[in-house]
Amino acid sequence: MTRPIDPVDLTRDLIRRPSVTPTDAGALDVLEDALKPMGFVCRRMPFSEPGTPDVDNLYARLGTGGKHICFAGHTDVVPVGDAKAWRFDPFAAEVADGMVYGRGAVDMKTAIACFAAASQQYVAEAGDGFNGSISVMITGDEEGPAINGTKKMLEVLAGEGETWDGCIVGEPTNPEHLGEMIKIGRRGSLNGVLTVTGTQGHTAYPHLADNPVPRAIWMLREIVEHLLDQGSEHFQPSTLEITTVDVGNPATNVIPATVTAGFNVRFNDLHSGASVEKWIRDHFNKISPDYDLEIKVSGESFLTPPGPLSDALRDAAERVTRRKPELSTSGGTSDARFIKDYCPVAEFGLMNETAHKVDERVAISDINDLTEIYRQTLKTLFEAP
């Protein structure tokens, strides 16, 4: 008989593996050891690419047919910062005051443990009546460049004929309490670097120079003062923030030759990365056509319209927590931006209050409740007509 998975114990075992991106430190081994006795067929999927760290990933599947529900997440975590500032060793997974402390407790090793436990509970409950498939897609590259992880796993698996009917991503989604929010989409993210070049000179003789700083300021003002939109049905208005302006000029009597500015745009489903870039260039060109602009889009906006997947999560969360989750598209990007090209995707996990912080922690009661929410969600999805 397979030993029951205790989601608290598995959470602690995962936290004890210091899997700071891109190091695995045995975290995937811990998860594989928990999944294999249940009948999951586990497959390691390491990827490499020049200029990026090698990353190991895990894809595990239970069942070969029927409705196929996937759980996706990551075992990699961000650095701990000053370890001495923590109440406990960040990788000791200590329990105190009803909490499990450790890096990754919220983002997002606990959710992985909860899904493993929930899958075991549901399959045991369903018995011979279970004729579907459950898979677990775990990367070690979510907190890093996200090049050798989920995106490549999906490409390879889909190329082999793998399909999914829905995917739950276990990222922390709730502001303060479990059951407050489910993410059904995300804004896109565009980073721009503007470089404006002039002619260096003496501040006493400005007519002999060309100061690029005022021109750059006017260009930045042009995109800051014009809103992209007023928002859409499921998205808040797009935002644009200047992140840096650099001249690199320590002298007080020198007109600089170059100024560089960085900015980030979080755009909703009214736009694409290409349309935002055009909007930026059109506004810059009003001031001056003489500039260099580098654009990188790390993710397009997307929306999984409310449907069976989000409904099942929402109903389960409300039953367990007595809170009806808001269906939201707020926050930053996640690996759901890759998964949305293959199947409906929704994100639901713990509270993000202590994610990436000193003393990251999760309440044991929330671990048990999250497990139950995932179990009920599986039951609803697999047993629906």
**Which positions are catalytic?**
76, 142
Name which of 70, 80, 74, 117 is nearest 339 in CA terms. 70
Could you tell me if 45 and 55 are in contact, meaning their C-beta atoms sit under 8 angstroms apart?
no
Pairing of strands 302-303, 361-363: unpaired
Question: What span, in angstroms and rounded, lies between the C-alpha atoms of 242 and 245?
Answer: 8
Question: What span, in angstroms and rounded, lies between the C-alpha atoms of 317 and 329?
Answer: 18
Helix (H) or strand (E) holding 239: strand 239-246
Could you tell me if 201 and 345 are in contact, meaning their C-beta atoms sit under 8 angstroms apart?
no
CB atoms inside a 10 Å sphere around CB 292: 11
With H, G, I as helix, E, B as strand and everything else as coil, classify residue 366. Answer: helix
Question: Can you tell me which residue has the tokens 């996706």?
Answer: 72
Question: What span, in angstroms and rounded, lies between the C-alpha atoms of 359 and 100?
Answer: 10
Helix (H) or strand (E) holding 26: none
CA atoms within 13 A on the CB side of 229: 18
Question: What span, in angstroms and rounded, lies between the C-alpha atoms of 153 and 144?
Answer: 16
Question: Can you tell me which residue has the tokens 């409740």?
Answer: 369
CB atoms inside a 10 Å sphere around CB 241: 10
Exposed, middle or buried by CB within 10 Å (0-12, 13-18, 19+), for 32? Answer: middle
Question: What span, in angstroms and rounded, lies between the C-alpha atoms of 178 and 32?
Answer: 27
Could you tell me if 134 and 378 are in contact, meaning their C-beta atoms sit under 8 angstroms apart?
yes
N-to-C CA span, the chain = 31
> In Å, what is the CA distance from 271 to each residue of 154, 239, 333, 344?
25, 12, 16, 20
Question: What span, in angstroms and rounded, lies between the C-alpha atoms of 236 and 238?
Answer: 6
